[in-house]
Structure 1
Amino acid sequence: MGTFTDISAPILAGVAGYVHVGMDREIITAQLRTAILTQIYIVSLIFLASIAVAYLLVNKMSQQLTQLSNYAKQVSSGDLTPQVEIPANNEDEIGDLLASIGTMTQNLSSLIGKVQQSGIQMTASTTQIAAAGQQLEATITKQVVSTNQVVATTQQIAATSSELVRTMKEVASVSEQTAVAADNSQAKIRRMETTMGSLTEATVAITTKLGVIHHKAETINSVVSTITKVADQTNLLSLNAAIEAEKAGEYGAGFGVVAREIRRLADQTAVATLEIETMVKEMQSAVATGVMAMDKFNQQVSTSVDDVGKISDQIAQVILQVKTITPRFDLVSQRMEEQAESAQEIRVAIEHLSESSQHTSDSLRDTNSALERLDDAAQGLKSEISVFKVYQ
């Protein structure tokens, strides 16, 4: 008989007793050996399978890590063009990391591409803005010069307007004085016209009186002619008396003396009448000359009166025009004052504009400096990101 092994175990935790079994040890040993060998075989297979799986996993991880390392080196060198190849059904952490890095690289490539494009556009824009700013600065500078010239011109205009206002006031004052003087002159001319009318009447009266004198002189001349005739007859009678006295001899001596005396008186009368006639003729000539002169003077006075009347009418028209113009001068003076004030306001506004233009020019100069710095920064950024290769 072989060797047995007793195996006992309580039934129902010792309530119902014990079970006692006896088994052959060889059988048990054989069974254990078989079981152990089977377990060893299985464990060996599992170990080998684990080693194979681990090898495969390590190889796969090594390939992925190598790919990740190469990809990281390319990215670190600035080359963002390679794409990450992720095998299908790869859901491990390294695959997720590769996918995340690929997505990040694509996003970074897109971002850098946009930054490069933006840098190019910003460089072009800053160049254009700088050029426009320089042109605008030059324009503003010219505008400042122009506004300064306009300020000087407006100052001259304001000064001229002020001077013109004073001149217009003086002209208005002179116009008023001229109107007053014209009124006084018109009154004086009217008095002169009245005086010349009286003078005309006086010359007419003098002419009439000279006519009367001329008529009287003609009457005197007629009387003188009569006296001359009487003197001639008296002289003839004295001659006859002298002849008769000589005939009478000594009886006619006294009569002869009387005859000689009568003849002497007749001669004196003839001489006197001749002188009177000469004087009367001279007086008539003088009176005729005076009448002609008075007629001529009267005509001149009448012409002067007419001229004075015309001048008076013209002065009246001038006075009317001056009185009409005087309010216009006042209105023009008022408008000139308003223009002077407007010119002053324009000058102040243009001075403010000049100051604003100067400030704008300074701001543009600062802006141009900032744009130059921005362009330098853009050029630097462009140079920095030019090392990256991105998807086109």
Structure 2
Amino acid sequence: MGIDVSIKRMLQVTITLSLLALIILAWVSNSQQSFIHESILNEEKQVNTVFALKDTRYYVVQIQQFLTDVGATKSDEAKSEAYESLNAALTNLDKLSKLSPEYSVQAQGIKQQVQDLYVSGENMADAYLNEGTEAGNLLMKGEGGFDDASLTLATNLDELAQELDHKFSLAVKETLNATDNATTVQLWGSLAIGLFILVILSILYRNILTPLTALDTSMRNVASGSKDLTVSLDDSGQSEIAEVAGSFNLFVRNIRTLITDFSSDTQQLGTASVQLKASSSETLEGMQRLQGETEQVATAMNQMQATVIEVANNAELAAQAAKGSDTQALQGDKIVQQTITSIEQLSNGVEQAANALQQLQDNADNIGSILDVIRSISEQTNLLALNAAIEAARAGEHGRGFAVVADEVRTLSKRTQDSTNQIQQMIGQLQKGVQDAVTVMDSSRQQAVQSTEQAAKAGEALSSITQSVALIANMATQIATAAEEQTAVSEEINRNIVNISDEARLTVTNADQSHVASVQMNDLSQQLSEQVGQFKVS
């Protein structure tokens, strides 16, 4: 039983797990390589440490050799070479301490012994040079002398060399073990990954190739085998194979439905061929009747053609009349536009006159105010003249002339008051007249505005009439054109009817041929039914 998982998901899981296994193997290999690298570095350090110790032993022997040669040659030239060997030995001991800090204490001890050996050998060489051979031999072979120091130093160097050799052997063994372990891990990891990939490939084979083989077999059977359209594949599950199987089942169902419908259609085709044979005979009779009727239609078309010509003439006259009305309407529209312009000018003049009358009324009001001032002054003058007359009467004979003047002033004041009253009455009448004129002008202005609006409406109405007349003229022209076209069409129809009569004769011949074709079609429908019957649909 296959796993109900999509191929895409299976491939994703396979790739993910394979990558994860490779990553783990790479990580393990990297860890092993890091350990091997550390082991190799440790081994190299041990090698360098051993070489540093060997170089130290070499330079110690050189010190012994050069200082001993002084006694034999009785020359101090070898002392400088011994000193250089001393420095080289000390340098290698410092290198040993740096490479292997765990041996730094032993290295420092040996370093001190080398320095002591050099001092002892230098004293021995000086004894050989200055005191003779016996003195030199005494310092060399005596207790605690140069030979004892050399022996002790050699022993310590041998012990340290043995330790370093043992540690070097361990480092080499550790490196070999790490290499073997890394090789083993990589080998087993590669085998595990290979086994995992084989398992995944077997699962993919079982879940992909097996259903595909079944699908291929079913398609071949439908195409060239038993032609069984009732076959159905297992489309359960969520894999792409299940989706393809479902699509194949749907395709087979559609083909089965198509074949079923096609079989039914072939049966209907056979029935239709029989009916066609019968109807071909009826067609022959109908075409003979059609020939007689077409002759009658030709006569009617001639009468209709004469009627259409008369309609075309009347439509042409109507179009000319409509064009005349259109011209008059355009002239009327121009006159209305001129009237609107004149009324607007009149309205503007009335507006200006109303403004002038309003200004006149304002001036009359100002004059009334001035008259009030004059009246007030006249009353005060009259009062002053009266007071002056009283004072003149009190003055007696001396105030007579002043009294005369005061009387004249009072007389003038009275006349001024009378004139002021008359002017006030005239101003009041003038204001009333101006107010009436303003009222009349305002009414005239409103009437002018209304007249302008009425004239504009009349203009719009004339424009509509103009458009309507133009439309009527256009329609009349179109009617005339259509009538002319209809005349041509009627002539064409008349010719076509003659052609139809000729075609009717040919149709009689074709009806016989259709009868033969219907027989052949019936035979073909039977053959088609036999071919469709080869497919199994139920």
Is the helix fraction higher in 1 or 2? 2
Q: Which has the higher contact order (CA 8 A, sep 6+)?
A: 1
TM over 0.5: no
- TM-score in terms of structure 1 length: 0.41
Is the strand fraction higher in 1 or 2? 1
The higher radius of gyration belongs to 1
